[in-house]
Chain A
Amino acid sequence: MTAPVESRGYVHGEVLVSTDWVADRLSDASVRVIESNEDLLLYPSGHIPGAVQVDWTLDLNDQVRRDYLSREAFEALASRIGITPETTVVFYGDKNNWWACYAFWVFQLFGHTAARVMDGGRLKWEQEGRPMTREVPGYSATTYKTRERQDGPHRAFRNEVLAHIRAKGQLVDVRSPEEYSGARMHMPDYPNEGALRGGHIPGAKSIPWARAINPGDGTFKTAGELRDIYLQEQALKPAEPTIAYCRIGERSSHTWFVLKYLLGFTNVRNYDGSWTEWGNLVGAPIEK
Chain B
Amino acid sequence: MLPATLREILDTFALVSDPADRAALLIDFADQFRQVPPHVAVPPFPKQRRVPACESEAYVWLVPQADGTANLHFAVENPSGVSAKALASILTSTLSGLTPEEIEQVSPDIVEQIFRQNISMGKGMGLMAMVQAVRALARAARQR
Contacts and interface: CB of A to CB of B under 8 A. Distances in A.
- Between B30, B117, B122, B125, the greatest number of chain A beta carbons within 10 A of the residue's beta carbon is seen for B122
A244 B45 CA distance: 39
Is chain A's binding surface mostly helix, strand, loop or mixed?
loop
Contact of A189 (B19, B23, B53, B86): B53
Contact of B126 (A38, A126, A187, A189): A189
B6 interface: no
A198 to B, nearest CB: 18
B93 interface: no
B125 A39 contact: no
Interface in A29-43: 37-42
Interface in B1-48: 19-20, 23-24, 26-27, 30
A153 interface: no
- Between B19, B26, B27, B80, the greatest number of chain A beta carbons within 10 A of the residue's beta carbon is seen for B80
A39 B124 CA distance: 11
A20 B116 CA distance: 37
Contacts of A159: none
Given A41-B26, A41-B27, A190 B125 contact: yes
Interface string A45-71: 100000000000000000000000000
B79 to A, nearest CB: 6
A24 to B, nearest CB: 24
Contacts of B20: 44
A190 B26 contact: no
Contacts of A123: 80
Given A189-B53, A189-B55, A189-B126, A41 B121 contact: no
B89 interface: no
A126 B23 CA distance: 20
Interface in A210-246: none
A45 B27 contact: yes
Nearest to B129: A189
A189 B125 CA distance: 7
B120 A39 contact: yes
A39 B80 contact: yes
Contacts of A124: none
B30 A39 contact: no
B94 interface: no
A277 to B, nearest CB: 17
Nearest to B19: A40
A191 B124 contact: yes
Contacts of A41: 23, 26-27, 30, 82-83, 86, 118
B82 A42 contact: yes
A175 interface: no
B121 A190 contact: yes
B123 interface: yes
Nearest to B79: A126
Nearest to A250: B121
Contacts of A200: none
B13 to A, nearest CB: 14
Nearest to B118: A40
B53 to A, nearest CB: 5
Contacts of A254: none
A41 B117 CA distance: 11
Q: What are the 9 closest A-B residue pairs judged by CB atoms, nearest first? A: A41-B82, A190-B122, A38-B120, A189-B53, A45-B82, A44-B23, A39-B120, A45-B27, A40-B118
12 contacts: A37-B120, A38-B121, A38-B122, A41-B27, A41-B82, A44-B24, A123-B80, A189-B55, A189-B122, A189-B125, A191-B121, A193-B121
Interface of B: 19-20, 23-24, 26-27, 30, 53, 55, 79-80, 82-83, 86, 117-118, 120-126
Interface of A: 37-42, 44-45, 94, 122-123, 126, 187, 189-191, 193
